[in-house]
Structure formats: structure tokens, C-alpha cells
Chain A
Amino acid sequence: MDEALLRSLTPSVLTVLVRRGADFAAAEDAVQEALVEAVRVWPDDPPRDPRGWLITVAWRRFLDATRADTARRRREDLADREPAAGPAPSTDDTLQLYFLCAHPSLTPSSAVALTLRAVGALTTRQIARAYLVPEATMAQRISRAKRTVSGVRFDRPGDVATVLRVLYLVFNEGYSGDVDLAAEAIRLTRRLAAAVDHPEVAGLLALMLLHHARRASRIAPDGSLVPLAEQDRGRWDTASIAEGIDILQAALARDRLGEFQAQAAIAALHADAPTTAETDWVQIVEWYDELVRLTDSPVVRLNRAVAVGEADGPRAGLAALAELDDTLPRHAAAAAYLHERAGDPRTAARLYAEAAHRASSLAERDHLTRQAARLNARRRRGAGP
């Protein structure tokens, strides 16, 4: 039973049903039922044409559901119309499905859930587990999302940027439960990159590959965060890094820079360096300047200040930081780091403790608390008898 094959066929099966005139929400339900059927039947009786099999079964399920509906409400003749064979769906169809699932009328959480189900072919239960909500809640979230987009014309081109934002959200969620959301995001972005020729899609794919390559070294066996400088670079996935860099270079060569390409360029410079000290920080600062120009984001300016601290020394980093709003997330953490490097462990310890108080994840809070504890313990030893 090839689950990867089954899941990769799903978007095209869904688009065939929609092309034949099925309403999106009903088509999506029918495809999920066909998947369940495939999981049951295929191990003993594998089809010669898996995609054709799925289309036939899903269409039949759709007709059954529509007939039941029709009988009940005494309307609609769609059910008895035999579908025209229609042209084979192209990659454009898959692209339309991405657009639909990331439609601007959806909230981010709805777009994420719908993308994972309709494009990613995950079950509602898997998505619910990944986001730690009850299955009933996730089912409602998905069916609301389907209703929201059910009136959207399927043949209008959408905005690739909205799709990229959704995939980026999925990637950043990491993994919990039995679904590896980061790997799933990479799979979906890879497919998107095959369906549309767009340098920012390539940029996002490169960014994901470059970060994913370092995942094994980011988390210690006890679950604590390992900062970049302390990561065991021997554990980085060099194949993934090489692929990410290739994709990025091809995208950059097209001279249509965007924020994901710039972020990937920064990740590539980190991935390329044998140590933190040998990292090309000057070039990283230049990429941050590009990013500031592209996004004007305060979070980017904060990261830039840290990079300036590496390129031009901690004093320069602190000066860059001083221009920013100190209520920004991670502002205190960045300041603590730079103060320690500038030789002021007392201020650094205080700021690490403050940063821990304001952390938005448990792993981050614990990491920052440990940093404060490390500096405080060193000071006590230094001042001791």
C-alpha cells in the first residue's frame, strides 16, 4: 500500500471532480471517502490505474451523495448527468486547488487546515492531532472553510503569495503528534514548485530545505533548544543543503528577488559556514538590508541587529538594537546576547531572565532561563571565597 502515491494523486482527483461540475465541498468529501476505500481495498486488489480508480470511486460517491440529497430536496439533475470525459487535468489544476485552499477570504488557521486536507490529503484526525485540538473542532473548521470557498470560481488565477504564506505557516509549526508538518510543508511546496514557475516558490522551497537540514541538530535529546553556534554541524543534512542551495541559485539568477529568496540566502550562508566564527556575517547583514527593504518588518530589523553584532562587534549590534522598540518579541534575548559578548554578564543575566519571562514557547523560556542561570552561577563562583 503506497500511501505517498495515494496522497500525491488526491489533488488531481479532486480537481477532476470539480471540473466535472461537483461542488468543491461535496467533491472533497467524496475524495476522502474514496481514499478510505482505497486503503481498504488496494492491499488485496491493487488497481492497474490508481488515479483512474480513485476518480471512478470518488465520482460514484459524489453521485450517491448528491442523489440522496436530490431525493430529499426534490431538486437538481446534476446527479444523473453522465460526466463528459474532459481533458486530462494539468498541473494548472493542482495550482488552482492551492489557490482555493489559501483563498484570502479564509482565516490563516482555516487556510492551513483546508490545504492540509484537500491538497495534502491528511485526514481530519491527523490534522487535529498535529494542531492539538479535538477532532470535532478540526472537522468544523474544515467544513466551514469549505463552505467559505464553495462559491469561488475555480478557474480564476489566485495570488501565489497567499499560498506561500500558508505553506510557511505549516512549516514553522514543526511537528507534533504523528504528522511531521515541516516535511509535509516541504512536500506541498515541492509540488507547487513543479506546478508554477515562480522564483519566490523556489525561494520558499530552498528556505525550508536549508532549515530542515539542520533540524536534527536544533533540539538536544532532552528536548532543549541548541543555538546555532553550538549545533553539531556534522549532523546537518548535506544533501538537503546542497539541494536548497541549487534551487536558490537558480531562483536568484532570475533577478526577481523576494523575501523568501532573501531569507533562504541567509540560511544558505549559515549552512555553508564550517563554524559560527567563519560565517560570512558581512554578507548576511547585506541580505538583511535587502529584507528590510522588501518587508520593512521590525522582526527583520531585530535579526539584522544581531547579525551586525557578529559582523561589526557587539557594540555596533547594541547600537542597531537601540533604534528598535524594546517590546518586540526577542528584543531582550538579543540584547542579553550582545551584552554578554560586550563583556557585561550582569546586564546580560538580567536581560536573559526578562527574555525568559516574555518567551512565547516553553523550549525558548527554558533555554533563556538556563542562559541567565549560567551567567549568575559564573558570577557567584567568581565572587565566592
Chain B
Amino acid sequence: MAKYLLLKHYRGAPAAVNDVPMDQWTPEEISAHMQYMRDFADRLEKTGEFVDGQALAPEGTWVRYDGEGRPPVTDGPFAETKDLIAGWMVIDVDSYERAVELAGELSAAPGAGGRPIHEWLELRPFYGVSPTVTE
């Protein structure tokens, strides 16, 4: 078993095939898209492969330590930041092939015109446990 993160980007991923911003879709198309995402998560729970799914707001803040006794420095958001994460889903599957298959299904979520978005999703493996038997 291995856990994978499916990352969805607002920005930074290569252009989707059906690349129309969501605010240009019809309200029905947006509803259909949301329904598809919910159904996908429900289906994964039924197959025993769902771990977590969350969406992120696009606006964020950069924060860093600024020395002893001083409040942290905040900055941004930076419009030029290339990579902007929109959300994720964590899955627990038997193989890399299965993870790719599921990412493909998620990428087929309907967008403008009710057609699949063919959006690029980033698939990242989690670190697993170190096996006990190694030598």
C-alpha cells in the first residue's frame, strides 16, 4: 500500500485541454463539476482508498521568523508566484498504476461545455515506512 497526493493547481500546471476559467462556465457546469468531485471522493471511500481531500483559498500570506522577541514578518500574496495549489486529495492504493488511473479519472472532471477539463494534476508519493527486513 502506498499513499499519494493528487495536487490540483490554480496556477503553475501546464495548460489543460479544455482550458476555460471557471467564471466563464455556466452555473450548471459549475454544479456538475462539483458533483463530479464529490462523487469521485465517495467512490474512493467505498473502494477503501480515500484518505483526505481539501480545497484551499487562492489568497495566502508568506510568513517568516524575524528574530528573537519580534513578531513574524508577513508578506504577499505575490501575484508572480508561479505555483498556486488549489487543493488536494490523498489516496491509499495498491500500486503506482492505480494512483495514475485515479488521477486520470479526477482530471476528467467536466468543465466548460460539460466536456472533460483534461486538467494536469500533480501526483506525489508520500514517504512510506522503512521495511523491517532489508538485508
Contacts A109-B48, A174-B132, A211-B132 given: A362-B92 contact, CB under 8 Å? no
A6 close to chain B: CB less than 8 A: no
**A13 interfacial contact with B, CB 8 Å:** no
Q: What are 6 A-B contacts with C-beta separation under 8 Å?
A: A132-B3, A137-B50, A137-B51, A140-B48, A171-B133, A361-B129
Minimum CB–CB distance for A107 against chain B, Å: 5
In the complex, chain A residues whose CB is within 8 Å of the CB of B133: 168, 171-172, 207, 211, 263, 267
What is the minimal beta-carbon distance from A362 to any residue of chain B, in angstroms? 4
Q: Is the CB of B132 within 8 A of A109?
A: no
Give the CA-CA distance A144 to B94 in the complex, in Å: 15
Q: How far is the CB of B90 from chain A (nearest CB, A)?
A: 9
Residue of B nearest to A214 (CB): B132
| Bitwise interface map of B from 38 to 78 toward A, beta carbon under 8 Å scored 1, else 0 | 00000001111111100000000000000000000000000
Contacts known (A109-B92, A173-B129, A176-B129); A144 close to B1, Cβ less than 8 A: no
- A83-95 CB mask vs B (1 if < 8 Å, else 0) is 0000000000000
Nearest Cβ on chain A to B114's Cβ, whole angstroms? 30
**Is B131 an interface residue, CB under 8 A from the partner?**
yes
Indicate whether B128 reaches chain A with its CB closer than 8 angstroms. Answer: yes
**Cβ of A134 and Cβ of B51 under 8 Å apart?**
yes
A-B contact sample (16 more), CB < 8 A, given A144-B46, A361-B128:
A109-B92, A110-B48, A132-B92, A137-B45, A137-B51, A140-B46, A140-B48, A141-B48, A141-B49, A144-B47, A144-B48, A172-B131, A174-B130, A176-B129, A361-B127, A363-B130
B135 at the interface (CB under 8 A from A): yes
Q: Given A108-B94, A362-B127, check contact A140 B135 (CB 8 Å).
A: no
A173 cross-chain contacts in B, Cβ below 8 A: 129
Taking CB atoms, residues of chain A closer than 8 Å to B49 are 137, 141
Band of interface residues on A: 35 or more
A108 contacts B135, C-beta separation under 8 Å: no
Docked complex: A120-164 residues within 8 A CB-CB of B: 131-134, 136-138, 140-142, 144
Interfacial residues, chain A to chain B (CB-CB below 8 A): 107-110, 112-113, 131-134, 136-138, 140-142, 144, 168, 171-174, 176, 182, 207, 211-212, 215, 218, 225, 228, 263, 266-267, 270, 303, 306, 359-365
A291 and B129 alpha carbons, distance in the complex (Å): 24
Give every chain A residue within 8 A of B45 (Cβ-Cβ).
Answer: 134, 136-137, 140
Contact of A303 among B94, B130, B135 (CB under 8 A): B135
Q: Which 7 A-B pairs have the closest CB atoms?
A: A141-B48, A362-B127, A172-B131, A361-B130, A109-B1, A140-B48, A107-B94
Which residue in chain A gives the minimum CB-CB distance to B93? A109
Contact B48 A137 (CB under 8 A): yes
A contact residues around B135 at 8 Å (CB): 228, 266-267, 270, 303, 306
Chain B residues lying within 8 Å of A140, measured Cβ to Cβ, are 45-48
- The answer to whether A133 touches B51, judged by C-beta atoms less than 8 angstroms apart, is yes
Inter-chain contact A365/B92, CB cutoff 8 Å: no
What mask results when residues 117 to 135 of chain B are scored 1 for a CB within 8 Å of chain A, else 0?
0000000010111111101
A299's nearest neighbour on chain B, judged by CB, is B134
Instruction: List, in ascending order, chain B residues with CB within 8 A of A134's CB.
Output: 45, 50-52
Residues of B within 8 A of A168 (CB): 133
Specify which chain A residues have a CB less than 8 angstroms from the CB of B125 in the assembled complex.
360
Given contacts A134-B50, A211-B132, are A109 and B94 in contact (CB under 8 A)? yes
What distance in Å separates the Cβ of A118 from its nearest Cβ neighbour in chain B?
15
Query: Nearest-CB distance from B95 to chain A (Å)?
Result: 9
* Closest CB in chain B relative to A267 CB, distance in Å: 7
B50 in contact with A364 (CB, 8 Å): no
